[in-house]
Every structure is written in C-alpha cells, then in structure tokens.
C-alpha cells in the first residue's frame, strides 16, 4: 500500500447566506493515496463540487466557514494563510473544471495561459515558460502544439480546450488533480479520449486524482475506489469491484440500477430513485436519505446511522445494510454493467 497523499477528516463547509445557515458538506472523511484515482459520485446538489472547492479553499472568505482537517502531505490546508494556500494551489493541487468552454480566458492565447501557471510557481522566464507550455500541450495530445500555443481559446474545439485546461492544471506537475466533472460537457468520443488521457497521465506522472462525476460508467472505467455522496455526506465508500458487485447503501443501489442497459428491456421504464434531494435548509433529522429510501423505518427517521466498516475497503452509512445485503443475494446479479 502506498502512502496517503490527501487525508480529509470530518470536513464541514458552512455557508452563511441570506436564507440562513447551510452546511453543504457535512462531516466528510476519506483519503487519496499517491497515484490513486478516487471517484466521487452523487446526484446534482449533493455537495461534490463544494467539497472539491473546499479542498483548495476557493470560496470567498467571510461567507464560508470550514471545520475539520484537510491534511495534504502532512499539512492542514485549512490552517494555511493566504500566501501559503496560493503556493499549494496549482503547484501541489490543481483543478480542472466542468465547462471547458469557459475555463480559458478569451483574451489570452492558450500558450500564455499555460505559461502563466509556470511563471506563478517556478522561477522561469517568460520564454522558458512558453517553451514548457508547448511541451505540455504535446503531452496532453494536441497536434502541432507550437501553432496552437499561439492561438486563442475560440480557435480550439471543446475537446481541445479541455485538453488545454488539463495542460494548465498539469503545468507544475501537481501531486493531486481534482477533476470536477471534466467530461460532462463533452460528447462521448471526446469524453473517451479525455478519460484515456487522464489514465495515461495518472500512470506517467504518478499523480493522485479525485474524479468527480455523476456518471457511474466513467467511474467504472477509471477509478479504483469510489466515494458516494448524498446531501453533503458520504454514504458509502468502496473499491470499484465492491461497489458494483455488492453495493450496501440503498442510494448506491439506486444509482447503479438507474444506469440504462444496452441489452435491457426497452419497453420497461428506467429505474429511478423516487423524490428529489431536499434543500440544504431542510435537512432531515435522522438518516438523510430516509425520505427516499425503500428500506426506511422509524429508526432511520429518528436517528442518523453510524459509519460501519463492512470490509477493510468498504464503509457504509446505513442502519439496514445487512438486510439489504441479504435481499440482494436473492435477486439476480445487478452487476451486468461493466
């Protein structure tokens, strides 16, 4: 087992808004090891993006309050001052965003923007930085990088822009890359290319990746471990095999069942998880998933379940996971998806 790169302990993110106090991330704990790809899944509004931005403390100071620990290489990121966190950002931890069409500044050339990160963190001259930028563009698989570096973002296609954005993020060889739904805005073929690229980069540069997505297919393809989030909490954490073979949390089960099957019955309705995510201002008292859970009883409504370690790599936050497990063995294998 390689050593731990990022260790998040009981992380909470509070927002103070006009409508009241909101805890968007509530007691999240997980870790990322060196060179490991960890997937974070969950439906919209479950706190995935907030969590990822909390790691880099990207929210405006004063409107937000953090609690817990984010240990990165032995340092608690939440305790760093402004200048120290600026040194970590981009240099040790980088981030790529969801929408490649708006993550590059339209007024600067692509090469200039990659060089910017290098100039920020390394004592490189402008010329050196620009040469490095071309190298990076080559690394992420952009053809004729010398030419592309001189072009503006609007000259590039969506897939190329996402590659360029990855180049920006990789500029200083970060140890951890946070990818916040990097393929959501791209079509499937480009998506596959970007995923391949990330896989290769992960092997080549030995960097840890937190891959945030709501696409379980992508997770199955790329990640070795998965964290399932619901309403600001981690409801299940498992290795990829365990998650698809033996999901313990009803929410995870629901997610896996909701994946449309190519060879499935077309006339049948797709599986859905009933109800919607409640707003964060009205969080249920007991188990947060209780209102939508087919297994819920009084116990679930009354008190929140503890996190149980089922195996060394699989943790679940549910009162009834054993019952669910038994139930599952009866039904045909859910794991038809690969």
Partner 1 sequence: MENIGSTLTLSEARKKLKKEQQQLLKKRFFSNYSMVIGLVIVIFLMLLSFVGPYLTSYGPLDLEVNNRLQAPNADHLLGTDNFGRDLLTRIVYGARASISVGLSIAIITSIIGLAIGLYASYYKRLDQILMRICDGLMAIPGILLAIALMAALGPKVENVIIALSIVFTPYVARIVRSAALVVREQTYIEAMKAQGASSTRIIWLHVAPNVLSPLIVQATFIFADSIITEAALSFLGAGIPAPAPSWGNILYDGKLVIFNAWWMTVFPGLLIIIAVIGLNSMGDGLRDIMDPHYKKVTKKRSKAVKGKEEVA
Q: What residue ranges bind partner 1 (CB under 8 A)?
A: 56, 58, 60, 62, 86-91, 94-95, 97-99, 102-108, 116-117, 120-121, 144, 165, 168-169, 171
Q: How far is the CB of 109 from partner 1 (least distance, A)?
A: 12
| Alpha carbon 133 to its chain's center | 26
Q: How far is the CB of 331 from partner 1 (least distance, A)?
A: 43
Q: How far is the CB of 178 from partner 1 (least distance, A)?
A: 8
Strand partners, 67: 12
Using CB atoms within 10 Å of the CB of residue 8, give its burial: 0 to 12 exposed, 13 to 18 middle, 19+ buried: buried
Q: How far is the CB of 102 from partner 1 (least distance, A)?
A: 4
Q: Which is nearer to partner 1, 114 or 255 (CB)?
A: 114
Q: Which is nearer to partner 1, 64 or 273 (CB)?
A: 64
Q: Which is nearer to partner 1, 25 or 168 (CB)?
A: 168
Query: Whose structure tokens read 């038994």?
Result: 326
Q: How far is the CB of 176 from partner 1 (least distance, A)?
A: 12
Query: Whose structure tokens read 């984010």?
Result: 70
As a whole number of Å, the end-to-end CA separation of the chain is: 26
Interatomic CA distance for residues 317 and 320, integer angstroms: 9
Structure-block tokens of residue 245:
């073979």
Q: Which residue, among 157, 148, 154, has the nearest Cα to 114 in the 3D structure?
A: 148
Interatomic CA distance for residues 334 and 253, integer angstroms: 9
Q: Which is nearer to partner 1, 89 or 292 (CB)?
A: 89
Q: Which is nearer to partner 1, 20 or 62 (CB)?
A: 62
Ranges of H-type helices in 23-102: 48-55, 82-88
Structure-block tokens of residue 71:
């240990």
Q: Which is nearer to partner 1, 169 or 228 (CB)?
A: 169
Query: Whose structure tokens read 């992960």?
Result: 202
Q: How far is the CB of 99 from partner 1 (least distance, A)?
A: 6
Q: Which is nearer to partner 1, 77 or 277 (CB)?
A: 77
Which H or E run includes 327?
A: helix 321-330
Ranges of H-type helices in 75-224: 82-88, 110-121, 126-139, 145-149, 158-170, 188-205, 216-222
Q: What angle do CA 324, 326, 330 make, to 5 degrees?
A: 110
Q: How far is the CB of 104 from partner 1 (least distance, A)?
A: 6
Q: Which is nearer to partner 1, 144 or 261 (CB)?
A: 144
Query: Whose structure tokens read 């073979």?
Result: 245
The half-sphere exposure of 270 on its side-chain side, counting CA atoms within 13 A, is 10
Dihedral angle sign, alpha carbons of residues 232, 237, 241, 244: negative
Q: How far is the CB of 97 from partner 1 (least distance, A)?
A: 5
Q: Which is nearer to partner 1, 95 or 235 (CB)?
A: 95
Q: How far is the CB of 56 from partner 1 (least distance, A)?
A: 6
């Amino acid at each position: 087992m390689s050593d731990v790169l990022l260790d998040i302990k009981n992380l909470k993110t509070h927002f103070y808004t006009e409508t009241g106090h909101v805890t968007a991330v509530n007691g999240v704990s997980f870790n990322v090891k060196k060179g490991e790809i960890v997937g974070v899944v969950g439906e919209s509004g479950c706190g995935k993006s907030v969590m990822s931005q909390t790691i880099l403390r990207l929210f405006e100071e004063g409107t937000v309050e953090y609690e817990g620990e984010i240990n990165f290489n032995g340092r608690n990121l939440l305790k760093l001052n402004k200048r120290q966190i600026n040194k970590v950002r981009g240099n040790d931890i980088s981030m790529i965003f969801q929408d490649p069409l708006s993550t590059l500044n339209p007024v600067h050339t692509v090469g200039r923007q990659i060089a910017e990160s290098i100039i920020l963190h390394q004592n490189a001259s402008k010329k050196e930085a620009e040469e490095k930028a071309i190298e990076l563009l080559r690394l992420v698989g952009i053809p004729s990088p010398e030419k592309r570096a001189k072009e503006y973002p609007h000259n590039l296609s969506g897939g190329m822009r996402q590659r360029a954005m990855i180049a920006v993020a990789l500029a200083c060889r970060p140890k951890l890359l946070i990818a916040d739904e990097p393929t959501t805005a791209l079509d499937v073929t480009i998506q596959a290319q970007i995923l391949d690229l990330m896989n290769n980069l992960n092997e080549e540069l030995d960097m840890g990746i937190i891959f945030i997505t709501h696409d379980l297919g992508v997770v199955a393809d790329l990640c070795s471990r998965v964290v399932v989030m619901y309403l600001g909490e981690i409801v299940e954490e498992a290795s990829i095999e365990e998650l698809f073979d033996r999901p313990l949390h009803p929410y995870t089960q629901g997610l896996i069942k909701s994946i449309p099957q190519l060879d499935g019955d077309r006339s049948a309705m797709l599986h859905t998880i009933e109800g919607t995510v409640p707003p964060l201002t009205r969080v249920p008292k007991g188990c947060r998933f209780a209102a939508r859970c087919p297994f819920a009883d009084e116990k679930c409504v009354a008190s929140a379940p503890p996190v149980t370690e089922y195996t060394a790599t699989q943790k679940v936050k549910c009162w009834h996971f054993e019952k669910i497990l038994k139930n599952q063995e009866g039904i045909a294998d859910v794991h038809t998806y690969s």
